[in-house]
Amino acid sequence: MTKIEQVIDYIDMQLKSRRLTPSMRLPSVRLLAKELHFSVSTIVEAYERMVSMGIIEARAGAGFFVCAPLEPLILSNIEPIREKSLDPLWISRQLLEASAQLIKVGCGWLPDDWMPHESLRKAIRDASKSSISELVHYSSPLGLLGLRELLARRLYNKAIEVTPDQILLTDSGSYSIDLICRFLLKPDDVVLVDDPCYFNFRALLKVHQVKIIGIPYTAQGPDIEAFKQAIEQYHPRLYITNSGIHNPTGATLSQPTAHQLVSLIEQANMVVVEDDIFSDFETTHSPRFSALDGLNHSIYIGSFSKTLSASVRCGYIVAKKEWIDHLVDLKVATSFSNSNFSAQILYRALTDGSYRKHMEQLKIKLAEAMQFNVQMFEKLQIKPWIIPKAGIFLWCELPTDIDIKKMADYCTENGVVLALGSSFSQSDRFQQFLRFNVAQCMHPDIFSILEKAMRYARHAPA
Amino acid sequence: MTKIEQVIDYIDMQLKSRRLTPSMRLPSVRLLAKELHFSVSTIVEAYERMVSMGIIEARAGAGFFVCAPLEPLILSNIEPIREKSLDPLWISRQLLEASAQLIKVGCGWLPDDWMPHESLRKAIRDASKSSISELVHYSSPLGLLGLRELLARRLYNKAIEVTPDQILLTDSGSYSIDLICRFLLKPDDVVLVDDPCYFNFRALLKVHQVKIIGIPYTAQGPDIEAFKQAIEQYHPRLYITNSGIHNPTGATLSQPTAHQLVSLIEQANMVVVEDDIFSDFETTHSPRFSALDGLNHSIYIGSFSKTLSASVRCGYIVAKKEWIDHLVDLKVATSFSNSNFSAQILYRALTDGSYRKHMEQLKIKLAEAMQFNVQMFEKLQIKPWIIPKAGIFLWCELPTDIDIKKMADYCTENGVVLALGSSFSQSDRFQQFLRFNVAQCMHPDIFSILEKAMRYARHAPA
């Protein structure tokens, strides 16, 4: 590589790493010459070549400026290309696109007929009789007051004491987290996630172009020592987690772990975002950061997509009042409003007496499904990492002599879609893991397909 | 200012302008000393003071790094503070928060009872009988196929030929533009908007931290000469406009202007985003960039909030196939899905025979309202900038001897909320303008209140 090429390469790296962005001035010729220990004429020649390549431009008397071409944010280009089946975006799209015929034993939602569709139908019929204004008008900036009041009462039962004006309704839980990331993050900030964690957290954080650090997750919550070290080493801004029932492990936070984490987060002046989307599946109470910390360094997120509907969508953000004020501005600027009609349907369904009954029955059904699955997996030597107290997930380790990729291929060919452990992690710690959804595994054929797949995918003994 | 303070000030400016961002390495002490012509010890002293102030930190052997505190994106802090009544976010929030009692003569939506609420109620009742899956399940990544097919047919009538897989459904028009901005913009990019333009475009662009340049809008579209100059001077990435019926002026693009702009945009390798939200109000066809340009350098946006419902929300993006692919990734990462149930309701309402009839009647009603308003304004010496061919807006200039602020105050006290011209512009060209919504001005009291307000707000003759 000639010296001139070295200079071009150097500037190119600065562009790729976004240290130099469009319209920024490049270092002066003299300065760069000194920095790289090259002659001024080498730098001049390199800059002129870059001008002719259309990468930079010279402005009379002002120096050289970046004029990078229009370069869209292509998410799949941000990280080094991994195997497609491990890309979090690919996983989401595959699950969302998969035909209804396929059995998605690893997906994150209940089978359709386990959802409270009768409450929902009734709520929709009632909502069709709303006032014209409720049918056609924009929502107020914070969103439907009735639903926010109801949420404030529900949160009180989780020891999170807030007023309805500390709750902001949005169109979904994911969008809520996105709004918070916009509010609190800049590119190159560091964000902690659990290892393993919900794959879409990583996809979302890619959009924000931050550095993602995984903290090993234990049966009591994130590993405290690793969390401490990450704080010292990386100065993270944010920690994003599912605090109620953890995705994908099904674990719940222990009181001591939650308490220690709240202290660490406070000392480090960082913020924890807890996405409590599986909250309504809980049968016993587990700690919430927002309750312990009084929403000082924490933000609480929820939605109804797992328990009521993922088609009639509404999410919400619970935070300190002054943050909500700024988040409203961001919401208005980026989506102007939220679906007030969806909020009305969900409010009606939640306050319908039959919803609570449905949830009680659902929890019993899930507990039975969990027990059944654990037994079936035992026979197959598929080992649950823990037996969760509640929820839909079973995070399982497969025998080391099973080639998981081969097993997944066999399953797909036979109409069963698996959720591979490695898609929940940036590390390679979970290559022998699968996430199962116990409600989706009640289909009689599944375990025989799994058994055949494992037989097919077993390595010959060495 | 001492030399040390000058150094601190210099670094501080780099931080404020985001040339230095969290975790970035500062210039080495030696380099900065050379650049600023100060001694090495001055720089060392300045850096050490900044370390003690918690702005930067020293890492052994690696140099000094930015450790700026967690600094949320507070939109109202981004621009120099203007009068609150001119802040685009404040306008949006005021209009959305205003009580139903107030008459919002300048708002951007129809009175509730002008909306097709009967079609909507019927669509909701029908949708309550959907399959369970339609009620509870996530949408496919692109969104409801039936609605996309319908949109493709409707677009064909506007000479925009696309397949349904070039259409991406989202939860709103605003969110659609936001997604495109994320895809195509980086901070400090330049974006052209019309002067005047829809105020929320500026609020949205503030979130993306880009530079906004206003192009004077003429009765035929943006001023071509000013557009050319802006391209040469600023190298813009994007131009965002309402191409069908322009907000706030009600103007439509002329064929020659559209044609010239398409050429300019192509040559400059920039992209035009046309938000065609008022499309269904058109009575005669006007050109669309996406039709002329074949979606090569253009993206088309639409929604149903003005003609069907702003409470049951759905927007869409029409673009070239390879961009849609990447936009789907961004949509999945940031909001996972969109409200499939809203899409179903809107699809049912749009395909209901009575909707077309409603729109035909509505257009006649709007034309009558337009005529009535023009006559009433003439009596008050309020001068429409043009008489729009269709739509809801009348962009009006008031006599120079009226103090608009005083007039607005009087109106607010009497239950009438005005939309001030200056909130549609970064320039001060429209201080004597008001945007009126002709459908909202059919209230008998309005013109007498306006007359009294003008009498109250008239300057004494000099």
B170-191 pLDDT tens trace: 999 999 999 999 999 988 899 9
Selected residues 257-296 of chain A with any CB under 8 Å from a CB in chain B: 269-271
In contact, A212 and A250? CB cutoff 8 Å? no
Could you tell me the two tokens for A245? Answer: 């029932």
Domain boundaries, chain A: 3-66, 80-112+355-456, 130-352
Interface check B13 vs A, CB under 8 A:
no
Q: Which residues contact B360 (CB under 8 A, 6 or more apart)?
A: none
The rounded distance, in Å, linking the Cα atoms of A343 and A330 is 20
Point out the residue among B135, B203, B339 whose CB comes nearest to the CB of A120.
Answer: B135
Whether A78 has a pLDDT exceeding 60, the answer reads no
CA dihedral of A255, A261, A262, A267, whole degrees rounded to 10: 150
Could you tell me the two tokens for A241? Answer: 């987690």
In contact, A384 and A396? CB cutoff 8 Å? yes
Q: Which residues of chain A does B35 touch, with a Cβ-Cβ cutoff of 8 Å?
A: 31
What separation, in Å, do the N-terminal and C-terminal C-alpha atoms of chain A show?
47
DSSP state of A240: E
pLDDT at A130: 94
The rounded distance, in Å, linking the Cα atoms of B252 and A84 is 46
Is A117's CB within 8 Å of B124's CB? Answer: no
A10-64 pLDDT per residue, tens: 888 787 666 777 677 899 999 999 988 999 999 999 998 888 777 788 887 888 9
pLDDT at B383: 97
Mean pLDDT of A198-206: 93
Could you tell me the two tokens for B383? Answer: 């001068």
Point out the residue among B69, B117, B183 whose CB comes nearest to the CB of A132.
Answer: B117
Q: Which residues of chain A does B337 touch, with a Cβ-Cβ cutoff of 8 Å?
A: 96, 172, 310, 313
Could you tell me the two tokens for B33? Answer: 């000393």
In contact, A281 and A392? CB cutoff 8 Å? yes
Half-sphere exposure of B154 (CA within 13 A, CB side): 19
Is A313's CB within 8 Å of B171's CB? Answer: yes
pLDDT at B68: 56
Mean pLDDT of A5-11: 90
| Nearest CA-CA distance, residue B29 and chain A, Å | 12
| Nearest CA-CA distance, residue A394 and chain B, Å | 22
Q: How many CB pairs under 8 A join A and B?
A: 296
pLDDT at A81: 47
Cα angle A254, A303, B112; round to 5: 160
Point out the residue among B174, B305, B332 whose CB comes nearest to the CB of A203.
Answer: B332
Write the CATH number of the domain with boundaries A130-352.
Answer: 3.40.640.10
Q: Which of B188, B296, B336, B341 would best serve as a mutation to test chain A binding (most A beta carbons within 10 A)?
A: B336
The radius of gyration of chain B's CA atoms, rounded to the nearest angstrom, is 26
Burial degree of A294 (CB within 10 A; 0-12, 13-18, 19+): middle
Q: Please name which of B46, B103, B200 lies closest in space to residue B447, comparing C-alpha atoms.
A: B103
The domain made up of B117-354 has a fold known as Aspartate Aminotransferase; domain 2 (3.40.640)
Same fold, B3-66 and B117-354: no
Could you tell me the two tokens for B389? Answer: 């061919």
The rounded distance, in Å, linking the Cα atoms of B462 and A385 is 85
Most distant CA pair in chain B, distance: 81
The rounded distance, in Å, linking the Cα atoms of A427 and A299 is 27
The domain made up of A80-112+355-456 has a fold known as Aspartate Aminotransferase, domain 1 (3.90.1150)
Specify the DSSP element, H or E, that contains B57: strand B56-59
The rounded distance, in Å, linking the Cα atoms of B129 and B126 is 6
Q: Please name which of B9, B47, B331, B372 lies closest in space to residue B179, comparing C-alpha atoms.
A: B331
Sign of the Cα torsion B119, B123, B124, B129 reads: positive
Whether A367 has a pLDDT exceeding 60, the answer reads yes
Interface check B191 vs A, CB under 8 A:
no
Phi and psi, residue B230, nearest 5°:
-65, -35
In contact, B251 and B217? CB cutoff 8 Å? yes
SS3 assignment, position B396: strand
Is B124's CB within 8 Å of A120's CB? Answer: no
DSSP state of A399: P
Q: Which residues contact A372 (CB under 8 A, 6 or more apart)?
A: A438, A442
Half-sphere exposure of A319 (CA within 13 A, CB side): 27
The rounded distance, in Å, linking the Cα atoms of A57 and B268 is 15
A29, A73, B317, B334 from B325: Cα distances, Å? 41, 12, 12, 15
Interface check A16 vs B, CB under 8 A:
no
Point out the residue among B137, B141, B312 whose CB comes nearest to the CB of A93.
Answer: B141
Interface check B172 vs A, CB under 8 A:
yes
Query: pLDDT per position in chain B (462 positions), as tens?
Result: 889 999 998 888 777 666 777 677 899 999 999 988 999 999 999 998 888 777 788 887 888 988 755 567 776 665 544 566 667 777 777 778 777 788 899 999 999 999 999 999 999 999 999 999 999 999 999 999 999 999 999 999 889 999 999 999 999 999 999 999 999 998 889 999 999 999 999 999 999 999 999 999 999 999 999 999 999 999 999 999 998 899 999 999 999 999 999 999 998 889 999 999 999 999 998 999 999 999 999 999 999 999 999 999 999 999 999 999 999 999 999 999 999 999 999 999 999 888 889 999 999 999 999 999 999 999 999 999 999 999 999 999 999 999 999 999 999 999 999 999 999 999 989 999 999 999 999 977 899 999 999 999 998 765
pLDDT at A236: 92
The domain made up of B82-112+356-456 has a fold known as Aspartate Aminotransferase, domain 1 (3.90.1150)
ipTM of the complex: 0.85
Confidence of residue A380 (pLDDT cuts 50, 70, 90): very high
Of A148-152, A191-195, B152-156, B456-460, the poorest mean pLDDT is in B456-460
Q: Please name which of B44, B36, B31, B30 lies closest in space to residue B10, comparing C-alpha atoms.
A: B36
Write the CATH number of the domain with boundaries B3-66.
Answer: 1.10.10.10
Point out the residue among A113, A128, A135 whose CB comes nearest to the CB of B311.
Answer: A135
Could you tell me the two tokens for A318? Answer: 């619970």
Interface check B210 vs A, CB under 8 A:
no
Q: Which residues of chain B does A308 touch, with a Cβ-Cβ cutoff of 8 Å?
A: 136
The rounded distance, in Å, linking the Cα atoms of A238 and A190 is 7
Could you tell me the two tokens for A220? Answer: 């009591």
Could you tell me the two tokens for B288? Answer: 């669309």
Could you tell me the two tokens for B107? Answer: 């708002």
Q: Please name which of B163, B171, B161, B137 lies closest in space to residue B316, comparing C-alpha atoms.
A: B171
Helices (H) and strands (E) in chain A, counts: 18, 16
Point out the residue among B138, B174, B342 whose CB comes nearest to the CB of A342.
Answer: B342
pLDDT at B81: 47
In contact, B442 and B370? CB cutoff 8 Å? no
Whether A458 has a pLDDT exceeding 90, the answer reads yes
Interface check A399 vs B, CB under 8 A:
no
The rounded distance, in Å, linking the Cα atoms of B123 and A226 is 54
Q: Are strands B383-384 and B393-397 parallel, antiparallel or unpaired?
A: antiparallel
Could you tell me the two tokens for B380? Answer: 């008050």
The rounded distance, in Å, linking the Cα atoms of B270 and B213 is 14
The rounded distance, in Å, linking the Cα atoms of B280 and A136 is 16
Q: Which residues contact B380 (CB under 8 A, 6 or more apart)?
A: B447, B450, B451, B454
Separation of CA A36 from chain center: 42
In contact, A24 and A59? CB cutoff 8 Å? no
Q: Please name which of A272, A268, A248 lies closest in space to residue A258, comparing C-alpha atoms.
A: A272
Mean pLDDT of A233-262: 95
pLDDT at B69: 54
Interface check A171 vs B, CB under 8 A:
yes
Q: Please name which of A264, A341, A346, A336 lies closest in space to residue A305, comparing C-alpha atoms.
A: A346
Interface check A423 vs B, CB under 8 A:
no
The rounded distance, in Å, linking the Cα atoms of B359 and B198 is 24
Cα angle A95, A222, A377; round to 5: 50
Q: Which residues of chain B does A200 touch, with a Cβ-Cβ cutoff of 8 Å?
A: 332-333, 336
Tokens 């035929």 appear where? Answer: B220
Tokens 């967690």 appear where? Answer: B70
DSSP state of A321: H
| Nearest CA-CA distance, residue A297 and chain B, Å | 11
Q: Which of A301, A304, A335, A346 would best serve as a mutation to test chain B binding (most B beta carbons within 10 A)?
A: A335
Could you tell me the two tokens for A421? Answer: 């452990």
